[in-house]
Amino acid sequence: MNSLSGGSEAAFADYVHRLVDVIGHADRAEPLNDYCLGLMLPVERKSVEPLAAVTAPTRVSAKHQSLLHFVGQAPWSDEALLARVRNLVLPLIERHGPVEAWIVDDTGFPKKGRHSVGVARQYCGQLGKQDNCQVAVSLSIANVAASLPIAYRLYLPENWADDPERRRKAKIPDSVAFQTKPAIALDQIRAAQAAGVAPGVVLADAGYGADGAFRTGLSAIGLDYVVGVQPTLSVWRPGEGPLPPKPWRGKGRPTSLMRRSPEHSPVSAKALAQELPQDAWQTIGWREGTNIDLTSRFAAVRVRPASRDYNLTEPRAVEWLLIEWPEGNSEPLKYWLSTLAADTSVEKLVSTAKLRWRIERDYRELKQELGLSHYEGRGWRGFHHHASLCIAAYGFLISQREAIPPSAPAKTKSRPEPAVPEGYRPHESPHPTRATRAKFDRHRPKTLDRRTQSQPPAMSMLHQDNAR
């Protein structure tokens, strides 16, 4: 581990030692250590074989088989590992203040072919469009200083969930059935609550907030939320609500359902925003940016959501509708619903809603620095094991953030890269043809210059990101 400074090496060894007992057999300690270490090294491609090459350059083949079994087949619990990482890292996060938010999100992994577990043509946030990809749902805990994913699960499309042959080949557990992404997120939230995780306001984008069952589920377990919604969301104007049931006239069955009429109807969130007077809007800053403070125009009003309330016997509770309409835009940009208290300030609503940026940082670092998207196996277990190990490595880096001086380089790629054995080529390319060499050269790490071999790493994620 000459790529870590002495203090970091000791801290890493202690961190891994605290994880060993939750992955079962003691003989998994070495692959756990090496896999997490490899993820933190500046290897361009962090699939199993390059990790074997940089962690055991004199015995690549044996290490490759060991890591391949550990991540793809060994039956250790992802939930247990993530719980241990959470218990180790959460106290460090809370040194900067209590947990403020539980952040729900999903991330996509573009894929070619159709055999990797969960691959389907669906919306991929990384690409910003529909494409062939895998999608995973996660839950993170966060405050203004740091955040950490504590749950992670692949979304299994219906055409996978209902296909016995695909399930068999990918070794999908029988207990895994089709669930929508909001339903997966609710399960993760309930599990975190049952585990006694310090509660926070649930934050999510409109992909989750537009799901009424998701919002209702959060309220049912006593959690407040600030969630994105669509401009088409149906709401009652401030002070209004559905009409009461029609009075019974002594004939027929009495009705108990709420009503609306042509003269008394809800409006869309967008229409309501456009009706608000000029003095309803105020400019609010929520974070210091790289060069300027991040500010925008916001309005917040108390409304009742109206979606299908004509099927209810009681009107929905009053909530905050927060709207962002930047100066100069022709229409509002974003909308949120929130169950935070009625006396919550607009500033607090905005700062809470905007804290969701932390999950974007998590995914950026997990993908760009730790190889979250680099796993090449096709099975259910390997997909989740790789992600859990990436999160475990990320947890260590969070724990070490203050050990890296502020003047350290900002980009991981500026670090020296570890050596691989002379003449090494990937296992799947036994003949050193030009084509196979060119294929691996795109992913293999460069050889270290002797003068730089002892320099410690300077992970960009270890710094306090003032730009955020």
DSSP H/E element including 18: helix 6-20
Burial class (CB in 10 A: 0-12, 13-18, 19+), 351: middle
Indicate whether 379 pLDDT > 80.
yes
- Residue 275 in tokens: 């009706």
DSSP H/E element including 124: strand 120-124
Q: How many Å apart are CA 377 and CA 375, to the nearest integer?
A: 6
Distances (CA, A) of 413 to 93, 159, 390: 26, 40, 18
Q: What pLDDT sits at residue 8?
A: 82
Distances (CA, A) of 103 to 352, 362, 368: 11, 11, 20
Q: What is the pLDDT of residues 247-256, one digit of tens each?
A: 777 676 777 8
Q: What pLDDT sits at residue 120?
A: 95
Q: What pLDDT sits at residue 436?
A: 30
Give mean pLDDT, residues 255-272.
91
Q: How many Å apart are CA 160 and CA 188, to the nearest integer?
A: 21
Question: Which DSSP symbol is given to 25?
Answer: S
- Residue 40 in tokens: 């933190």
Average pLDDT, the chain: 85
Q: What is the pLDDT of residues 97-139, one digit of tens each?
A: 999 999 999 999 999 888 999 999 998 888 888 899 999 999 9
Q: What is the pLDDT of residues 59-68, one digit of tens each?
A: 999 999 999 9
**7 touches 460 (CB < 8 A):** no
Give mean pLDDT, residues 425-452.
35
Give mean pLDDT, residues 73-78.
96
Give mean pLDDT, residues 137-161.
96
DSSP per-residue letters across 322-380: EEE--TT-SS--EEEEE-S-TT--HHHHHHHHHTTHHHHHHHHHHHHTT-GGG----SH
Helix (H, G, I), strand (E, B) or coil at 283: strand
Q: What pLDDT sits at residue 5?
A: 58
Q: What is the pLDDT of residues 314-371, one digit of tens each?
A: 888 999 999 999 999 999 999 999 999 999 999 999 999 999 998 988 999 999 999 9
Choice between 42 and 429, residue whose per-residue pLDDT is larger: 42
Percent of the chain with pLDDT over 90: 68
Indicate whether 23 pLDDT > 70.
yes
Choice between 5 and 18, residue whose per-residue pLDDT is larger: 18
Indicate whether 1 pLDDT > 50.
no
Q: How many Å apart are CA 210 and CA 229, to the nearest integer?
A: 5
Chain CA centroid to CA 440, Å: 30
Q: What pLDDT sits at residue 235?
A: 96
Give mean pLDDT, residues 425-451.
35
Give mean pLDDT, residues 207-230.
97
Instruction: Report domain extents, the chain.
Output: 6-79+375-462, 223-247+255-348
Q: Cα-flanking dihedrals φ and ψ of residue 160, to 5°?
A: -90, -45
Q: What pLDDT sits at residue 96?
A: 87
DSSP per-residue letters across 142-178: E-SS-EEEEEEEE---HHHHT-HHHHHHHT--TT---
